[in-house]
Structure 1
């Protein structure tokens, strides 16, 4: 039984606490949060102890930690935990700074401890089935990937101000999903973005509506469409065209009832937000992490995967500002020195 320390008792921390506690081979032993009351409340729910992050990391009885704290703490906590001999699952992104993320990657490599980054969409059943179908050649050679990711409503403006921007906070999931499906990184990233949903987002220096186009060495193309507002629900779709056909992973709906009459055909809306849409993926993600730790195999989403997605977010940010495509190696090579 793995004894787990959870760092962060906010909304996503609560999601992970449930996944940890539901798993037959892990137990939530300790919880920390900058707000002591939040840690105590979550700990009491699952029969865990409320402790500080440093106490959890330093406790020899803790086998692994899950980091669900604000992004600007991720790299420091990853390094501290791996130095203490803990396995780590950390929420995305690795950091707001690509330089800091790469330094973290180097430090973790020296420690030898496994670090998995929480890109839960890789574990969504629909997206996973689409990936498998691509890999076994069901549609021939992939040619054009399209990812649609629309939130039902924008987050609070105070969150936007510290999020690192749309590309680091939201699109980063789609960057990783593209890498997962395509099995390689693009060579070029081009992005356009505007603020049409909330003027306060523009005032904060961010965008709320964006399209990113990525090109690959062999000519493949991937397109990501993002918006902070879709009044009908949480719109999450993937489509990939290949030389021999088309694959689509559609939305998860509130129910499966379809009414067909002379007036038309009506179905339910997509589920409203990520908690409903992706809870099965969070459970599958945790199961994969536990399996990797138990067997000593490589975690399925590595720290290098997290750094790659962050580099693509940086490229998209630069492209919006310059109005020109950005070569991904221009982002990675200076950082790697």
Structure 2
């Protein structure tokens, strides 16, 4: 039985608490949060203890910690937890700073403790089925990838100000999905972005609408489209054109009823947000982490994967501000020293 401490009792912490408690081989033992009342509420809900983060990490009875705290705490907590002998699953991104994330990777790489980054979409049954079809050669070689990710509504501007921006906070999932499906990091990244949804987001120095084009060393191309607003719901689609065919993942709908009348054909909207769309993926993600820790095998999404996605977000940010394509080696070279 894997004994787990949860660091962070906010919205995403609650999602992870469900996944931890639902697994037959893990137990949520302790919860911490900067707001003690939040930790106590969540701990009471799952029969755990509300404790301080340092206390949880130092407890030799705790086998693993799940980090769901604000992003600027992630690297410090990863380092502290692995130094204490804990296995770690940390929410994305690794850090707001690429330099700090690379330093974290170097610090923990020799400790022999598993660190997994929470890119849960890799574990979505629809996307993983597409990946399986691609690897089986069913559509030949991947040539052109298109990822669409639109939120139903923008987050509060107060959140935007501390999130690291759209590329680090939202599109980072899509950067990792591109790496997952294409099997490589792109060679160049070109990005454009605008503030079309909420003027407050623009005033905070961020964008809410963006398109990124990525090219690979072998000529393959990937395009990512993000928006903070889709009036019809949570739009999550992937289309991959191969040399022998096309693979697509369409939206998960509220229901599968289609009404056809003389007035037209009408179907349901996409599910409203990530809780409805991706809860099964969070459970599969946690199961994969538990299995890796139990078997001593490699985690399926490594800290190195997290750094790669953050580097892509950095490249996209630089490209958007400069109006020019950015080569990934330009981003990674300064931090590789």
**2:309 matched to 1:288?**
no
Deviation readout 1:12-33 (Å, 9 max, x if unpaired): 0000000000000000000000
Aligned to 1:267: 267
Partners of 2:304 and 2:330 in 1: CA distance? 17
**Distance in structure 2 (CA, Å) of the matches to 1:229 and 1:134:** 30
Alignment-derived partner of residue 20 in structure 2: 20
Tell me, what secondary structure is at the counterpart of 2:15? helix
The equivalent of 1:237 in structure 2 is 237
How far apart, CA to CA, are the structure 1 residues paired with 2:213 and 2:318?
13
Q: CA deviation at 1:150?
A: 0.1
Structural mapping, 1:1-337, within 5 Å:
1-337=1-337
Which runs of at least 4 in structure 1 moved beyond 3 Å after TM superposition? none
In the superposition, the TM-score normalised over structure 1's length comes to 1.00
Normalising by structure 2, we get a TM-score of: 1.00
1: distance between equivalents of 2:57 and 2:336?
29
Structure 1 Cα separation of the partners of residues 204 and 80 of structure 2: 32
Superposed CA deviations along residues 138-177 of structure 1, whole A, max 9, x for unmatched, are 1111110000000000001000000000000000000000
Give the drift of 1:110: 2.2
Residues in 2 aligned to 1:148 and 1:264: alpha-carbon distance in whole angstroms:
26
Question: Residue 111 of structure 1: SS of its match in structure 2?
Answer: coil
Give the count of matched residue pairs.
337
1:195-215 Cα deviation digits (max 9, x unpaired):
000000000000000000000
What is the CA–CA distance in structure 2 between the aligned matches of 1:41 and 1:276, rounded to whole Å?
Answer: 22
Q: Distance between the aligned counterparts of 2:245 and 2:211, measured in 1?
A: 24
3-state DSSP class of the match of 2:65?
strand
Residues in 2 aligned to 1:265 and 1:330: alpha-carbon distance in whole angstroms: 50
> Could you report, residue by residue, the CA deviation over 1:268-316 in whole angstroms, capped at 9, with x for unpaired residues?
0000000000000000000000000011100000000000000000000
Measure, in 2, the Cα distance between the counterparts of 1:262 and 1:103.
63
The 3-state SS of whatever aligns with 1:110 is: coil
C-alpha distance after superposition, 1:74-93 (max 9, x if no partner): 00000000000000000000
Query: Hey, what's the Cα distance between the residues in 2 that align with 1:266 and 1:108?
Result: 53
Q: How far apart are the structure 2 equivalents of 1:240 and 1:327? A: 23
Please give the secondary structure, in 1, of the residue aligned with 2:109: helix
| 2-structure distance, mates of 1:199, 1:28 | 41
